[in-house]
A and B are shown apart, each in its own frame.
Chain A
Amino acid sequence: MEEDIDTRKINNSFLRDHSYATEADIISTVEFNHTGELLATGDKGGRVVIFQREQEVLVEEQTPDVVLGSILRVLKFSLPSLQSKNQVHRRGEYNVYSTFQSHEPEFDYLKSLEIEEKINKIRWLPQQNAAYFLLSTNDKTVKLWKVSERDKRPEGYNLKDEEGRLRDPATITTLRVPVLRPMDLMVEATPRRVFANAHTYHINSISVNSDYETYMSADDLRINLWNFEITNQSFNIVDIKPANMEELTEVITAAEFHPHHCNTFVYSSSKGTIRLCDMRASALCDRHTKFFEEPEDPSNRSFFSEIISSISDVKFSHSGRYIMTRDYLTVKVWDLNMENRPIETYQVHDYLRSKLCSLYENDCIFDKFECVWNGSDSVIMTGSYNNFFRMFDRNTKRDVTLEASRENSKPRAILKPRKVCVGGKRRKDEISVDSLDFSKKILHTAWHPSENIIAVAATNNLYIFQDKVN
């Protein structure tokens, strides 16, 4: 069956004109699992594709060329900052492991509205046995999927023949014990739980708790706490819906549990604030324990100030000491112990500040970029336009802009840093702000939990970059 899907998708999307993307193939979320062995992507068509890293192999020569994934193009490059000097070490590459349809489009008959099947978020559960578990969600429903391998099958049934047809009992003269024989590896995904009907508004985040028994789902106005075993009930822990919808001025944009403290979580808002809540304080965490907000810079005030301050993503550091937030133009790092301002602010694409009106008109100003930490919390990464993505080294304060595009890089080539020129003379290889392609946006990226491997989603293409140093 996987081969059928391969053929169909390759025929559909293997077009010379790469600007034509099947809308259903647009990647909407990317996530490594806790070991980095698996990488999951969700797309607008409700499909989940899981890649698995193959075992590392030491080779003399490099295998050239592009490896095509079944639905997505997966290309291997190398990070520019680190180069191998001597021996070639072929790191484990990611190949398609499993593909399944997670969500289907639905229709809400009461409101006469469609419910999109687009996968908004995928979160892995830590592995506890041979199977892998992940949560995937669309706007309304969260599902728990079990992904397991089958490499043996029983043969030699008494009552059925090899094709599964029932045998005439009169023809059975001897009895035998069925034996398990090896078969080609089959990876199957089964939905184990469906958590539905708990959200009136669109789910934007899910987060697995560190107790591995509960998780939360957050929509625009409410956050619910679930137990993995119970699908018909959830606890509402945050509710910011005003009694009068006309007084609505703020929505929840993202939420996440603390990586170690199972009672603590944060959620961000469209007004640029972050609230940290402790579930031990009360059942309904409407009153925050901590409130993070940076005072507004009066010199930068405009009609768009509020829109660009809206936080599109919030992530705890692996250490649990910091949170990182992404708003339209910047990435900020906050110390949990200091609420009145962030400790670090990084400009992602400040040259857009003078273009806010145009970006408001074409709706780009509402794009929700995500941000990620590397495994050691020393580097942060986020996406931008024109298929650019940015990395900031928190220690050296250096930053780099890279491009995820086939035209400008060859597989296994070192990526060249890019530069946007903001005015005056444009140097060779620089791109002027006015030539940026705003339809090519990198909203979703992921970083391997322990190694320098990153996954970057550029519309319907997935790029995986590894550094070459062993």
Chain B
Amino acid sequence: MFARGLKRKYGDQEEGVEGFSTVPSYSLQRQSLLDMSLVKLQLCHMLVEPNLCRSVLIANTVRQIQEEMSRDGVWHGMAPQNAERAPIDRLVSTEILCRTARAADGEHPTPELEDGSLQISASELPIVSSAQGQRSPQSSLWEMDSPQENRGSFHKSLDHIFETLENKNPSSVEDLFSDVDSSYYDLDTVLTGMMSGTKPSLCSGLDGFTAATPPPSSTCKSDLTELDHVVEILVET
């Protein structure tokens, strides 16, 4: 279940490290939580209509994190040192992620949860981190005018989530609910949502979306296969 024995490379340059180097900084935890939430929103079981309550709660959580990150001034543009970090360093096991900052104050870190007690899909974590890893050398992702032509196709689904979120405009979440709205197949509504931010490369944005529209289940599966493939590549480097 948990990646036991995973070597955690934790850079000393990371801000906020106090005492226990095994507890990730608050900003790293927050970033991982954001990534996890985005993956959750995307990887829904598309055979049956997704649970609206769950989607709303996750989206609200994402919004909260966004707001806090904006307040902290880290929302646009990655911090310089992150761009230099190798992707594999961001593979943080869930157990580490879920340790609270209080553990650093003096208590011993929470003992690892036993296998089988919590069914964590450990595969989700590398996917999340690999997405981050891919982004860090291209920190321009967060900027509005980032060129998309050079990115691999696997970026498309994650990308259009990130793109919708990078808008300050609250319509960021519309994309996430467009599939449960009864006007899902109303292309106008859908395209309006996509185009509410300035998207320089309209074609790849639309491509990414139209790929997601008909059989949603196959899109999810192909995303997973591609992500798996990318993870394999990353882990081997």
Residues of A within 8 A of B54 (CB): 363, 366
Q: Looking across the interface, which residue of chain B has its beta carbon closest to that of A221?
A: B52
B52 touches A355 (CB 8 A): no
Q: Is B13 at the interface (CB under 8 A from chain A)?
A: no
Measured CB to CB, the closest approach of chain A to B35, in angstroms, equals 11
Q: Is B6 at the interface (CB under 8 A from chain A)?
A: no
Which B residues are closer than 8 A to A by beta carbons?
Answer: 30, 33, 36, 40, 46-49, 51-54, 56-57, 59-61, 64-65, 94, 97-98, 100, 110-111, 113-114, 116-121, 124, 170-174, 177-178, 180-182, 184-185, 193, 214-216
Q: Is A20 at the interface (CB under 8 A from chain B)?
A: no
Measured CB to CB, the closest approach of chain B to A271, in angstroms, equals 9
Measured CB to CB, the closest approach of chain A to B72, in angstroms, equals 14
Which A residues are closer than 8 A to B by beta carbons?
Answer: 108, 110-116, 139, 200-202, 220-221, 244-251, 253, 270, 303-304, 306-307, 310, 354-355, 357-364, 366, 434-439
B182 touches A251 (CB 8 A): no
A358 touches B113 (CB 8 A): yes
Interface pairs A-B: 3 shortest CB-CB? A246-B174, A357-B98, A220-B52
Q: Looking across the interface, which residue of chain A has its beta carbon closest to that of B119?
A: A362
Measured CB to CB, the closest approach of chain B to A238, in angstroms, equals 16
Please list 24 pairs of residues, one from A and one from B, whose beta carbons are closer than 8 Å in the complex, sorted by A's number: A112-B215, A113-B46, A114-B47, A202-B51, A220-B52, A244-B174, A245-B180, A248-B56, A248-B177, A251-B52, A251-B53, A253-B53, A270-B53, A270-B57, A303-B33, A303-B61, A310-B57, A358-B94, A358-B98, A361-B36, A361-B121, A362-B118, A366-B54, A436-B117
B60 touches A249 (CB 8 A): yes
Residues of B within 8 A of A108 (CB): 49
Residues of A within 8 A of B180 (CB): 201, 245
Q: Looking across the interface, which residue of chain B has its beta carbon closest to that of A365?
A: B57
B61 touches A220 (CB 8 A): no
Give Cα A102–Cα B40 distance, bound, in whole angstroms: 32
Q: Which of B36, B52, B174 has the most CB of A within 10 A?
A: B52
Give Cα A113–Cα B214 distance, bound, in whole angstroms: 11
Q: Looking across the interface, which residue of chain A has its beta carbon closest to that of B180?
A: A201
Given known contacts A246-B174, A249-B60, is B118 in contact with A435 (CB within 8 Å)? no
Residues of B within 8 A of A202 (CB): 49, 51-52
Give Cα A396–Cα B47 distance, bound, in whole angstroms: 48
B53 touches A434 (CB 8 A): no
A362 touches B120 (CB 8 A): yes
B49 touches A113 (CB 8 A): yes
B94 touches A111 (CB 8 A): no
A111 touches B49 (CB 8 A): yes
A306 touches B49 (CB 8 A): no
Residues of A within 8 A of B111 (CB): 434
Measured CB to CB, the closest approach of chain A to B43, in angstroms, equals 11
Residues of A within 8 A of B116 (CB): 437
